[in-house]
Amino acid sequence: MTATAAARPSAAAAHLRIEAVVKRFAPDAAAAVDGVSLDIAPGEFFALLGPSGCGKTTLLRLLAGFETPDEGRILIAGADMAGVPPYRRPVNMMFQSYALFPHLTVAQNVGFGLKQDRLPKREREARVAAMLDLVKLGRLAQRKPHQLSGGERQRVALARALAQEPKLVLLDEPLAALDRKLREETRFELVRIQHRVGITFLMVTHDQEEAMSMASRIAVMSQGRIVQLGTPQEIYETPANRFVADFIGGVNLLEGRVLRAHDGLIEIDSAEAGAILVVEHPVLAAGSTVAIAVRPEKIVFAPPAAAANRLEARVRGLAYRGEASTYEVELASGKLLRVTQVNAVRQAPAYAAGDSISLGFAPGAAVVLAP
Amino acid sequence: MINRLSPFLAVMLVVGYAFLYGPIASLVVYSFNASRLVTVWAGFSTHWYVELMHNEAIQRAALISLEIAVIAATGALLLGTAAGYALQRYRRFRGRALFGTLAIAPLVLPEVITGLSLLLLFVALEQAVGWPQGRGVPTIAIAHITLGTAYVAVVVEARLAAFDRSLEEAALDLGARPFKVFLVITLPLIAPALAAGWLLAFTLSLDDLVIASFTSGPSSTTLPMVIFSSVRLGVSPQINALATLFLVTVAVLVTLAGRLMNRPEPKS
């Protein structure tokens, strides 16, 4: 895994360092954050990804200083944050609700932190203007938050979080309150702004697409722990376990027993698949039970007759999404699979419910999951 | 669609309003009566209002009432805001439930009991430490503060319950110290509730007869006390005029307070 090693910052360069942090909200309750350790490099766009209640927001609040860890340490730029109140941390947060001050104008909102820093008025005004330019809101400087659209409010919140030039910006579900189309545009916008200002971003999200398209590295969290850490591609293509495979995008799981291993391939006898499956994987003991994961877009229809992993199935249903169609197919064992086909030509051959088809996937397309 | 009233409901509505507001309406109407007799209509006149303007006893009482109401409302605002803030923001402390009950108990305590207990307290205090010397404006104001505090606490607590706390967190995050956050974020946003609480406490103090009677001294007759005692000597249309002015003042203040309380929180 050289890619992981390269993407992971060395301890010396770590900008934000979280060491074995534990947070419990009641002495007898399960830990909301359960022994999380993490190093984040300067200038990184990092995402904490997980379902609601996985502890990602609590971790963010620990970094901002709104909660205190029960165990462990948090270091920002080498400084231990223990006992440092939120108003003295070199960290700014963009709240999910944006938390814009309703009685202040856009310019006053953005300049609020600078005023606390006692920056001279002229410098403050220049910085506010620069920030509003950055998020393209210069013409709305004198408006009140309730006079803005959702997207404009989101950008004011971002400008406010960036204005003090913090060492780290925390973004709590930054796009959740936007409608779908705006959300997709804003992803690129956020990444562009992050590149321009060069400030480390730490984003919390439950949306895997959002995390993968924006972040350079992702930590997938579940029940207060980090279950996998890596680049979007590593997380998607080599999920560490079933939870990650299932949470990140659609996935088909097939279980079976290892028959033998040879030449970097293993053969699996899968009753669910009704076939002997061949998957690229280092040696595994014969007889052990394994699960393999195949992404819906990696399964093809009507593979060549001699291809490995050829399965016979019947179409149960079809969801046409425009750019692609997702089929639900049923194997002879009753196991249901999802298959995504890109609609590359306008009159792509469509299968209807009840059609018999054959499917296949390459040995390299499937991943053996840790039990 | 506007629901049309059935004749039966319309009649019931009129009867209900007449029951509630008929006496007050007649009081207002007779304040403009030219006759000295409160039961005989002798034409429209503002004579009694003019006479009221020249009645020094009533003017003095009105000033005393206003003075007490301003002191009581301001004191109640300070204490009530602190109590409401504590109840809403500190969810867990020893004796919180007891504190919550005690803070709003004056709302339901019979006024006679409140008044009597305060009178006994003031008398005992005077004997023990020599203060307050007799009873007057300060003792009435203190008594009214106890009542007003409960109202302000309820109003402030309700407003804070609807307050988006991430606003305060955002201000902290941007470098403002907790007290500064309270001053520049919390206070401006709950100001309408504070104004409403002040107005309510002011109105309560202006209205109160029972507690004031217990805690007043010879030189501190409030307006309700003047009205009450003069009615016992026979009703003069001057009192009708005074009551009408009083009514208008209180109605305006209560309406204003209601508007301030129901003002929606500005969306962030």
* pLDDT tens-place string over residues B7-47: 999 999 999 999 999 888 988 888 888 888 777 888 888 88
**A239-to-A91, A208, B24, B56, B57 alpha-carbon distances in Å:** 31, 13, 79, 90, 89
Whether A254 and A232 share a structural domain: no
Whether A143 and A164 share a structural domain: yes
* Kind plus residue range of the DSSP H or E element containing B170: helix B165-173
DSSP string of B81-132? HHHHHHHHH----TTHHHHHHHHHGGGTS-HHHHHHHHHHHHHHHHHHH--S
Residues of B in contact with A66 (CB under 8 A): 169, 172
Cα(A328)–Cα(A297) distance, integer angstroms: 12
Cα(A280)–Cα(A364) distance, integer angstroms: 5
Sorting pLDDT into bands at 50, 70 and 90, what band is A28?
Answer: confident
Query: With 0-12 CB in 10 A as exposed, 13-18 as middle and 19+ as buried, what is B181?
Result: buried
CA–CA–CA angle A85, A90, A94 (5° rounding): 90
A9 pLDDT above the threshold of 70: no
Mean pLDDT of A36-44: 94
Whether A268 and A180 share a structural domain: no
Residues of A in contact with B164 (CB under 8 A): 97, 99
At B265, phi and psi to the nearest 5?
-65, 130
For residue A308, what pLDDT is reported?
86
Mean pLDDT of B166-187: 95
Q: Give the domain range for residue A158.
A: 2-238
Whether A163 and A257 share a structural domain: no
Nearest CA in chain B to A66: B169
Give the DSSP letter of residue A285: -
Cβ atoms B217, B136 nearer than 8 A: yes
Is the sign of the CA dihedral B211, B214, B220, B226 positive or negative? positive
C-beta atoms of A98 and B268 within 8 A: yes
Cα(A195)–Cα(A174) distance, integer angstroms: 17
Whether A318 and A232 share a structural domain: no
- Let me know if residue A208 belongs to a domain: yes
Residues of B in contact with A64 (CB under 8 A): 169, 173
C-beta atoms of B268 and A112 within 8 A: no
Q: For residue B152, give the nearest of B228, B203, B223 by alpha carbon.
A: B203
Which is it for strands A324-331 and A336-342: parallel, antiparallel or unpaired? antiparallel
Q: How far is CA A267 from the centre of its chain?
A: 32
- Let me know if residue A243 belongs to a domain: no
Sorting pLDDT into bands at 50, 70 and 90, what band is B3?
Answer: low
- Left if phi > 0, otherwise alpha if psi is -120 to 50, otherwise beta: which for B134? left
* pLDDT tens-place string over residues A108-151: 999 999 999 999 999 999 999 999 999 999 999 999 999 999 99
- Let me know if residue A215 belongs to a domain: yes
For residue A283, what pLDDT is reported?
77
* pLDDT tens-place string over residues A149-159: 999 999 999 99
Q: How many domains does chain A have?
A: 2
How are the residues of chain B apportioned to helix, strand and coil, as percentages rounded to the nearest 5? 75, 0, 25
Q: Which of A92-101, A175-184, B145-154 has the lowest mean pLDDT?
A: A175-184
Whether A211 and A330 share a structural domain: no
Q: List the single best residue of B177, B182, B268 to mutate versus A (max A Cβ within 10 A).
A: B268
Nearest CA in chain A to B175: A87
- Segment 187-226 of chain B within 8 Å of chain A by CB: 188-189
Whether A100 and A226 share a structural domain: yes
Nearest CA in chain B to A148: B268
Query: Which of A66, A93, A102 is nearest residue B267 as measured by Cβ atoms?
Result: A102
Sorting pLDDT into bands at 50, 70 and 90, what band is A321?
Answer: confident
Instruction: Please state the length of chain B.
Output: 268
Residue A295: partners with Cβ closer than 8 Å, 6 or more residues away: A236, A249, A250, A251, A252, A365
* pLDDT tens-place string over residues B195-229: 999 999 999 999 899 999 999 988 889 999 988 88
C-beta atoms of B266 and A97 within 8 A: no
How are the residues of chain A apportioned to helix, strand and coil, as percentages rounded to the nearest 5? 30, 35, 40
Q: Per CATH, which fold does B55-262 belong to? A: MetI-like fold (1.10.3720)
At B28, phi and psi to the nearest 5?
-65, -45
Residue with tokens 């796009």: A175
A5 pLDDT above the threshold of 80: no
Gap from A144 CA to chain B (nearest CA, Å): 9
Residues of A in contact with B188 (CB under 8 A): 103
- Let me know if residue A48 belongs to a domain: yes
Cβ atoms A313, A254 nearer than 8 A: no
C-beta atoms of A99 and B169 within 8 A: yes
C-beta atoms of B175 and A116 within 8 A: yes
For residue B111, what pLDDT is reported?
92
Sorting pLDDT into bands at 50, 70 and 90, what band is A11?
Answer: very low
For residue B40, what pLDDT is reported?
82
Query: With 0-12 CB in 10 A as exposed, 13-18 as middle and 19+ as buried, what is A196?
Result: exposed
Sorting pLDDT into bands at 50, 70 and 90, what band is A8?
Answer: very low
Cα(B254)–Cα(A341) distance, integer angstroms: 68
The pair of three-digit structure tokens given for residue B229, joined into one six-digit string: 């005692």
Return the CATH number at A205.
3.40.50.300
Half-sphere exposure of A127 (CA within 13 A, CB side): 23
Residue A305: partners with Cβ closer than 8 Å, 6 or more residues away: none
B180 in A contact zone (CB under 8 Å): yes
Cα(B245)–Cα(B210) distance, integer angstroms: 21
Residues of B in contact with A117 (CB under 8 A): 175
Sorting pLDDT into bands at 50, 70 and 90, what band is A369?
Answer: confident
Gap from A93 CA to chain B (nearest CA, Å): 7
Interfacial residues of A (vs B; Cβ cutoff 8 Å): 64-66, 85-89, 91-93, 95-103, 112-113, 116-117, 144-146, 153, 160, 164
Whether A177 and A151 share a structural domain: yes
Q: Which of A162-171, A175-184, A217-226 has the lowest mean pLDDT?
A: A175-184
Cβ atoms A217, A200 nearer than 8 A: no
Domain boundary residue, one of A213, A238, A263: A238
* pLDDT tens-place string over residues A244-301: 998 988 899 999 999 988 888 999 999 888 888 999 988 788 888 899 999 999 999 8
What predicted TM-score, i.e. pTM, was given to this entire model? 0.81
Domain boundary residue, one of A238, A261, A280: A238
Cα(A352)–Cα(A362) distance, integer angstroms: 25
Sorting pLDDT into bands at 50, 70 and 90, what band is A224?
Answer: very high
Which ranges of B208-265 would DSSP assign to H, the alpha helix? 210-215, 223-232, 237-262
Give me chain B's average pLDDT, please.
89
Mean pLDDT of A42-46: 94
Gap from A99 CA to chain B (nearest CA, Å): 5
Cβ atoms A281, A339 nearer than 8 A: no
Residues of A in contact with B174 (CB under 8 A): 87, 92, 112-113, 116, 160, 164
Whether A171 and A297 share a structural domain: no
Side chain identity, residue B117 = S
Whether A219 and A294 share a structural domain: no
**A304-to-A7, A280, A307, A345 alpha-carbon distances in Å:** 38, 19, 5, 21
**A305-to-A277, A309, A359, B70 alpha-carbon distances in Å:** 15, 10, 10, 94
C-beta atoms of B169 and A164 within 8 A: no
* pLDDT tens-place string over residues B111-132: 999 999 999 999 999 999 988 8
Whether A225 and A276 share a structural domain: no
Gap from A39 CA to chain B (nearest CA, Å): 22
The pair of three-digit structure tokens given for residue B217, joined into one six-digit string: 């001294």
For residue A346, what pLDDT is reported?
81
CA–CA–CA angle A129, A133, A136 (5° rounding): 135
For residue A343, what pLDDT is reported?
86
For residue B268, what pLDDT is reported?
43
**A245 C-beta neighbours (distance < 10 Å), count:** 25
For residue B246, what pLDDT is reported?
87
Sorting pLDDT into bands at 50, 70 and 90, what band is A3?
Answer: very low
Q: For residue A337, give the nearest of A304, A292, A307 by alpha carbon.
A: A292
* pLDDT tens-place string over residues A53-75: 899 999 999 999 999 999 999 99
Residues of A in contact with B178 (CB under 8 A): 87
- Let me know if residue A245 belongs to a domain: no
Mean pLDDT of B166-182: 95
The segment(s) of chain B belonging to CATH 1.10.3720.10 are: 55-262
- Let me know if residue A244 belongs to a domain: no
Query: Which of A64, A97, A100 is nearest residue B173 as measured by Cβ atoms?
Result: A64
Residues of B in contact with A101 (CB under 8 A): 167, 170-171, 185, 268
Q: For residue A341, give the nearest of A304, A296, A302, A305 by alpha carbon.
A: A296
Sorting pLDDT into bands at 50, 70 and 90, what band is A26?
Answer: confident
Q: For residue A98, give the nearest of A129, A59, A135 by alpha carbon.
A: A135
Instruction: Please state the length of chain A.
Output: 371
Torsion of CA B30, B36, B40, B43, to 10 degrees: -70
* pLDDT tens-place string over residues B63-109: 999 999 999 999 999 999 999 999 998 888 888 889 888 988 888 89
Domain boundary residue, one of A238, A272, A303: A238
| Exposure string for B85-103, b = 16+ CB within 10 A, e = fewer | bbbbeeeeeeeeeeeeeeb
A16 pLDDT above the threshold of 70: yes
A160 pLDDT above the threshold of 90: yes
Cα(A95)–Cα(A89) distance, integer angstroms: 16
**A284-to-A179, A253, A265, A269, A275 alpha-carbon distances in Å:** 47, 18, 9, 13, 19
Whether A277 and A147 share a structural domain: no
Which ranges of A67-179 would DSSP assign to H, the alpha helix? 106-116, 121-134, 150-163
Mean pLDDT of A318-338: 90
ipTM of the shown complex:
0.84
